[in-house]
Structure 1
Amino acid sequence: MMWKTWFTKEESKWPRWQLRDINKFKMTKQSSKIRTRFAPSPTGAPHVGNIRTALFVWLFARHNKGNFILRVEDTDQSRAEQGSIKSILEALNWLGLDIDEGIFKQGQEKGEHGPYTQSNRLKTYRDHAKKLVQAGHAFYCFCSQERLAVISELQKQEKKPPKYDGQCLNLKPEDVKKWLAEKRSAVIRMKVPQEGETSFKDTIKGNITVQNSTINYQVLLKSDGFPTYHLASVVDDYLMEISHVLRADEWIASTPKHVLLYQYFGWEPPEFIHLPIILGQDKSKLSKRHGAISILDYKKQGYLADAVVNFLALLGWNPKTNQEILSRDELIEQFDVSKINKNSPVFELQKLDWMNKQYIKEMSADKIRKALHDIDGLSDEALVFFNKQYRFDKALNLIKDRLEKLSDFEDSVRFLWDMPDYKADILVGKGLDKKQTKQNLEKALELIDRSDDLRQIFLDHCDKSNIKRGDMLWPLRVAITGMEHSPEVFASIEIIGKDESRERVEKAIEKVSFKMAQRPGLEKIQEKVLW
């Protein structure tokens, strides 16, 4: 870790009581063991962005044989949502991101550095905030919200960045003591030198330097006694011996404050690894309008955990090869933070669909059936039809190579037990008329009754009669499945059975016959009535 401090440059400009420990300043070092944490706020369902962060943290820990810790940062009580922690745990469990330490079940923790929920650590934060005040690195601020709002508005009008104006920075100690005794509302803010600069090294971004004059006098402890993220995360990361902090790069702007806090406490900072944020197709930050949903919604939609892990791992990280399908073991073995891209990745749902499709292709029928059961992916009707395993196996073989999500399975094969409804127009293939379509369907009805290999019987008929195979098979496929783009028709007939298949072809002939008998002026009216 590299930084430039104000201690040497600005020492003479600060009161001596603020600098009494400067000459004794030594960094307290942490353990050499890799310890990482995923520290979400319980403000809603876990989404793609924070779960991608969790995955990178987990992969980094596993690659380095370290510890993966789950900590809940719930200091902003106004935004906390009931059920969020349960959803976070469910998401991590579904994706197989096992937890070494911290919260591992609802209301249950493991590890020697607890509690792991910040709202249960308030005394720790208050004690550390008061230590900073006593050391001259923080101060009490009694400014009202109304005054702060006026300052903010003036800064906007003058096109200045928002920053506290230091009104309470040099209050007399006796006034502070008196006002605290009177129970006046107060916060604790960190002091920041207004000259010099603060630098730190980010593993991905490199060395980053900011002018101290641009750093705000950050609130550390709010008037309700709860800490802000800035104090709580620094204190917890140190006390929990976190060696590497992986988080979204939107926190880079706050890191100089954290570096100063580490210096004020005399602690060695962890290594910072800021991850590029995920963008939507329009290159703005990924949000719901881009189709981003809760990670658990992907589970409900029939995406496989291994496919989602593989997909998320490639959002901002690259193995530097052309390999796109990587097993969990391969990801752990190859995950190196030096291969994390500086540029933000773009979320492409089509890529996830393709990847999920590849994983489905490799699954056995038994595993797919179990996965469908886990997401309640089969209706009662489907369960009745598939009460015999061979039916399920044959239905799966029809569509397995084209199935992108497990949730699409039932809709793709519903025609097997549910007589399809469709408009007569789609029976007529390109280049055919209604008369030819009817003739081909009537011939198909005759051929279906044959007991031999139906596929070969139909192909032989096409060859002998000089009929294009597509002209013959198109109306048959629509009649059997009700779809223009459907699974293989002869395999479908085998599952449905010849009696049911014959009935469907007869229905198709009736549709075409009725269409042929229509008078042009009545076509639309009759279509509404019949179709």
Structure 2
Amino acid sequence: MTEVRTRFAPSPTGYMHIGNLRTALYAYLIAKKNNGKFILRIEDTDQERYVEGAIDVIYNTLKLVGLQHDEGPDIGGPYGPYVQSQRREIYSQYAKKLIDIGGAYYCFCSKERLDALRQECERKGIPFKYDGHCRNISREEAEERIKRGEQYVIRQKIPATGTTSFHDEVFGTITVSNDSLDDNILIKSDGMPTYNFANVVDDHLMKITHVVRGSEYLSSTPKYNLLYKAFGWEIPTYIHLPLIMKPHGGKLSKREGDASFEDFYNKGYLKEAIINYIALLGWSPGTDEEIFTLEELKQRFSIEGLSKSPAVFDINKLRWMNGEYIRSMSLEEFNELAMPYYKKAIKRQDIDYMKLSRLLQTRTEVLGEIPDNIDFIEELPDYDVNMYANKKMRTDLNNSLEYLKKAYEALQGVDKWDDEHIHEALFKLIAELGVKNGQVLWPVRTAVSGKQFTPGGAIELSSLLGKEETLRRIKIGIEKLSNV
């Protein structure tokens, strides 16, 4: 049985886009589900768009999320080099071979001629297509012109008649008329190959059995198949993935600045949650299950579960899933992950961070939001006194002032400062006053936090802040209310 071999072949043109990472994930899962090999290849033929450091981003991202490649530029393998710019001679040899067998030709058209042709197509309202001007130049004439130093490209010679069909595992059989295809460039004037040529040569030489890529390449696949057929090579299994769309339309695009994996990771989304969510953007397990580890995905993933319909990237669903992962952790694990975010917001040395983590873990969906949710611990914000008025809690500025004064007195008498004794003191006061719980607890919570939304209630926050700081903040609240 032939070994399953998949590849992830990103261009080093920036950050790891969500769509790129999904392609890598699916290619990895298909290989691992079938005990095959997952190959990393860097497609850097577009030197104008090359971004310094982008290759390191690719390595670091794959390593971080656990998509370990079996062959690649950094670890080698039997079919290297795995960087396209280092394979120029290989492409040149195969391009010349393709010319010899009649599948390609030299083209000497100037930029000016092509621009004029493009303008003519625009004037007629038709898509640009090369007119085959150099298609019938003899081999002898072409070689003579090359010797004279004329610039040239090598173009694919598409059959003028007939059709080309191919089968895709997601989209089914697709047939196109050959006369709709362009004689696209295979080797540019600088000697570098285009993606259209390099990916076919590399996939063949690297023995790739399953080609996983975005559906935007469906329209180019007939050209690739004609190259395979011209060389007499076996055509791989095609798996084109549906687009990932924004909630309000338009596809996610790295060029348009849509969020990358790194963006989400730096905001405090967990790598496990991101991978889990991306796995579901175009694939379904056939059940209502949504939470999968990478190991579980290796077992459950199937090509049959892929959809041809565009997937919608829903940030709220990712938030929810991230929250599920956070809640499934042990308290100790959450505390360790949250600590860098605590340190951003809190400089005080007297905070019980495990206590803070107990308050935050069930209320946190994204780690990066922790500093804004706990900044009041370090310093009481200058809040609006009208926050004390809350219809649901049945508080207004007058009764808040009255109950805050009494809470101050009650808390002054607490000897052992912990949740249990603070609770005992405040609920004893509530019983004596004969009022609703919120009429005392809301003013206290507002006074100690200065915020409408907090990771805990009056009792937990008071316990966390300590007796001296709690009483100081309640006193500030009393002063604010007294001055209204």
Give the structure-2-normalised TM-score: 0.94
Secondary structure at 1:204's aligned position in 2? coil
Query: 1:465 aligned to 2:428?
Result: no
What percent of counterpart residues are identical? 40
1:175 is displaced (CA, Å) by 1.7
2:229 counterpart residue number = 263
1:85-118, CA deviations, whole angstroms, 9 ceiling, x for partnerless residues? 0111111111111111113xxxx33211100000
Is it true that 1:488 corresponds to 2:457 in the alignment? yes
Match of 1:510 among 473, 479, 483: 479
> 2 CA distance for matches of 1:489 and 1:400?
18
Alignment of 1:328-347 (within 5 A): 328-347=294-313
* Partner of residue 390, structure 2: 429
* 1:453–1:82 Cα change, 3 Å: same
Contact 1:203 1:273 in 2 (8 A): yes
Unaligned runs of 5+ in 2: 415-419
**Post-superposition offset of 1:277:** 1.1
Alignment of 1:405 onto 2:371 = no
Q: Secondary structure at the match of 2:480?
A: helix
Runs of 4+ displaced beyond 4 Å: 288-291
2:9 maps to what in 1?
A: 39
- Given the alignment, which residue of 367, 371, 385 partners 2:349? 385
What residue is the counterpart of 1:477 in the other structure?
445
Residue among 161, 165, 172 paired with 1:206: 172
Between the aligned partners of 2:348 and 2:10, the Cα distance in structure 1 is 43
What amino acid is the match of 1:248? G
| Residue 455 of structure 1, CA deviation | 1.9
1:99 aligns with 2:65: no
- Is contact 1:310-1:325 (8 Å) kept? yes
CA spacing shift, 1:302–1:203, aligned 2, 3 Å: same
Q: Deviations over 1:269-316 (max 9, x none)?
A: 110000001000112112479983121121111111111111100111
| TM-score using structure 1 length | 0.86
Q: What is the alpha-carbon distance in structure 2 between the residues aligned to residue 177 and residue 67 of structure 1?
A: 42
State the shift of 1:369 in Å.
4.1
Taking the aligned partners of 2:255 and 2:117, their CA distance within structure 1 comes to 34
Match of 2:142 in 1: 176
Shift of 1:356: 0.5
* Pair 292,417 (structure 1): closer, same or farther in 2 beyond 3 Å: same
Code of the aligned partner of 1:511: K
Query: Which stretch of the first structure deviates more once superposed, 159-168 or 218-227?
Result: 159-168
Shift of 1:66: 1.0
Mapped contact 2:105–2:154 kept (Cα < 8 A): yes
State yes or no: 1:501 paired with 2:470.
yes
Deviations 1:1-47 (A, max 9, x none): xxxxxxxxxxxxxxxxxxxxxxxxxxxxxx81010000000111111
Structure 2 match to 1:445: 408
Equivalent in the alignment of 1:417: 378
1:131 maps to what in 2? Answer: 97
Verify the 8 A CA contact 1:447 1:454 in the aligned structure 2.
no
Structure 1 Cα separation of the partners of residues 353 and 411 of structure 2: 23
Amino acid at match of 1:75: T
Match of 1:15 in 2: none
How large is the RMSD of aligned CA atoms in angstroms?
A: 1.8
**Corresponding residue for residue 357 of structure 2:** 396
How many residues were matched structurally?
Answer: 476
Q: Distance in 2 between matches of 1:300 and 1:393?
A: 23
Asked if the contact 1:190–1:220 (Cα under 8 Å) also holds between the matched residues in 2, the reply is yes
Are 2:283 and 1:322 equivalent residues in the alignment?
Answer: no
Q: How does 1:7-22 map to 2 (within 5 A)?
A: none
Displacement, 1:495? Answer: 1.6
Contact residue 426 and residue 478 of structure 1 kept, 8 A = yes
2:279 and 2:4 map into 1 onto residues whose CA distance is 20
